[in-house]
Structures are given as structure tokens and as C-alpha cells.
A and B are shown apart, each in its own frame.
Chain A
């Protein structure tokens, strides 16, 4: 079992829809949870990060973390064609008595928002 599982999709929605993206993980040492957006042939772009459990909102984006269920989500409201990209979840935290905070990523979900 991989440490981080993410449904690769693809996911196709109409413009204006609410998009829900999810990841599950198995390592309880993860404390920091991030969402990145990656356009084709570009580097990942940090969208949001959350520490421990809870919600965080930034404009049209909301990140949720449920550590008890080892489940994280990213919601995109009023989705736009420019949101079409691959969305990657990533996590880091203390392990083996220390941490360099290296990121462990999901496979990414390919999202297409149709006009």
C-alpha cells in the first residue's frame, strides 16, 4: 500500500461546478498537508497548506484535513476553465525521530473544466 493514495481521474466538470478532490494516507506521522496545481510540463504550484486537522479557505479554494480518518480534501467553488490542471496532494511530517519535511505526493488528479 502506498503512503498516499489519490484517484488519478480524469475528472471532467462543467464551468461553475463545485469540484471535490481527495486523498487518503496511511502514515500517522504526517502533520502538514498541501495541495499543488500542476499545468502540463510545468513545475507544481503551491495552492494551500494546512497544519494538522481543520479547514482552511482561500478564495474559491477550501482545504480540509481529517486526521482521525487520514483523509484530506480540496474543494474548488465556481470552477473555471483556467482551473484545468493536475492537482497533487502532498504531505510531510516527523518520522524516524526527526524530519527533513520531504514531501510525499499522491499521483495527482487530472481535472478538466469545460466552458
Chain B
């Protein structure tokens, strides 16, 4: 257990629905990252927060995706109008630049 928690652990949704995932980081870590991992691939960077500021977004993050980190604590990732291509494991990580600790992930299945 890294101390990073994610909820829900698994989400099944129908195409076109909106979904929201939550990440609760290790409390003293001000850096928070979201990654996406598809089957047979390594995780790919989506977005990065330092405290409450979202400082970088990957081109993978289309305008259907939005992320927030109010007050620099927990973070949410919302996907609007889900598509089958959004099916993946969504991972949250916090930590130092060279020691990122991952949560267990949220597995999204879009039917």
C-alpha cells in the first residue's frame, strides 16, 4: 500500500456517459500526476498538478477530459461523453520527481 488511494476501482459505463474518478494522494506530496495505461502498454502521462495548479496537459487529454485539484488535496479526473477508446486503467501518482508512488488505479470499461 503506497498511501495513494483511488476510487472507484472499476467503472463500467455506456458510451456517451460522463464518468469521474477520484485520487487521494499522500498528504505531504504537492505533486500529483494522472496517467493512462492500456493493455500491453506502459502508463502514459495525462496531466500534472503542483498543489492546486494544473501545470501541464498531454495532447492525449482531449477537451472531453478535465482534471481538478481543489486546495491542493485530492484530485478528480472527469471524462465527458465517453468513447470506447477511453477504456483503460487510469492511474494517479504522487511524490518527488524521482519517487512517484502510484495508486491502485481505476479500470474504466466503456461498452
Contacts and interface: CB of A to CB of B under 8 A. Distances in A.
Interface of A: 4, 6, 8, 32, 34, 36, 41-46, 49, 51, 88, 90, 92, 99-108
Contacts of B102: 36, 43-46
A95 B107 CA distance: 31
Interface string B72-89: 000000000000000000
B43 A42 contact: no
Nearest to B58: A102
Contacts of A42: 104-105
Interface of B: 2, 4, 6, 31, 33, 35, 40-45, 48, 50, 55-56, 91, 93, 97-105, 107
Given A51-B98, A88-B42, A103-B100, A43 B31 contact: no
Contact of B99 (A44, A49, A106): A49
Contacts of A101: 31, 97-98, 100
Contacts of A4: 42
A32 B42 contact: no
A102 B58 CA distance: 10
A34 B31 CA distance: 17
A73 B63 CA distance: 38
B108 to A, nearest CB: 13
A75 to B, nearest CB: 20
Contacts of B33: 102-103
Contact of A41 (B31, B41, B43, B107): B107
A43 B42 contact: no
A42 B75 CA distance: 20
Contacts of A46: 99-102
B56 A90 contact: no
Contacts of B55: 100
Contacts of A92: 97-98
Given A43-B105, A44-B102, A107 B40 contact: yes
